Structure formats: C-alpha cells, structure tokens
Amino acid sequence: MDLENMIMELLVHAGSARSHAMMALQQARRGDFAAAEQAMAQSRQAVSQAHGMQTELIGMDEGCGKIPVTLITVHAQDHLMNAMVIQDLAIDMIELYRRLPPAQVKPGAALQRHPL
C-alpha cells in the first residue's frame, strides 16, 4: 500500500472510531446501554485499526524523517488523537448515564436532561 493510501486509511479508521464513540453516547443517553457498549466496541476496533496504520507509518519512518509531514498526515493524526480522547470521555459519561434515573421522555419530545 502506498503512503497516501495508508494515511487515508488511518484517517478513515480514526473518523469511524470517533463516530462510533459519539453514537455510543447517544445510545447511553437514551438508556440503551447494550447498543452503547456495542458502539464502543466498534469504536475500539476502529482505533485499533488506525493505531496499526500509525504504527506501520512510524516503522517506515524509522525516526529519521523518511515520511514527509504533510497537512493530511497531521490531519489524520489529529483525528486519531480526538477519537481516543472522545473514547476516554465516552466511557466515563456512559457510566454516569447508567447511574441516572431513567428519563421520562414522551414520544417525539426532546430529550430532557437530568438536573444536576
């Protein structure tokens, strides 16, 4: 696989990881913790794939600057970092949602947040 495709694959997996973690938060907010856990598992898998690409790129670089640092490379790294941070926060937030009493939501009504 050429360098450009590797970087794009890193970007795609990182974006997928972020999206799944955000979806997990939405599911937890609705009280569907099984779906939240499933989305988090998908997020972890996507981060694992992105991290594998990152590790391969680092290995190709050998710490010698062999890989050019381009805007898209930095962008992909930013996406991976953001996905990992969102995962960490999502884990804690899902646990907090578990501890809240079930929301009393009417069909079609906006979700009411529990007052702190």
Q: Are 83 and 46 within 8 A, CB to CB?
A: yes
Residues annotated as catalytic (active site), given as ranges = 75
- pTM (2 d.p.): 0.81
Q: Is 78 annotated as a binding residue?
A: yes
Q: What is the pLDDT of residue 112?
A: 56
Q: Are 27 and 93 within 8 A, CB to CB?
A: no
State the Cα–Cα distance between residues 61 and 98, nearest whole angstrom: 44
**What is the average per-residue pLDDT within 54-66?**
86
- Domains of the chain by range and CATH? 3-99 (1.20.58.80)
pLDDT digit string, tens, across residues 48-57:
999 999 999 9
pLDDT digit string, tens, across residues 35-50:
999 999 999 999 999 9
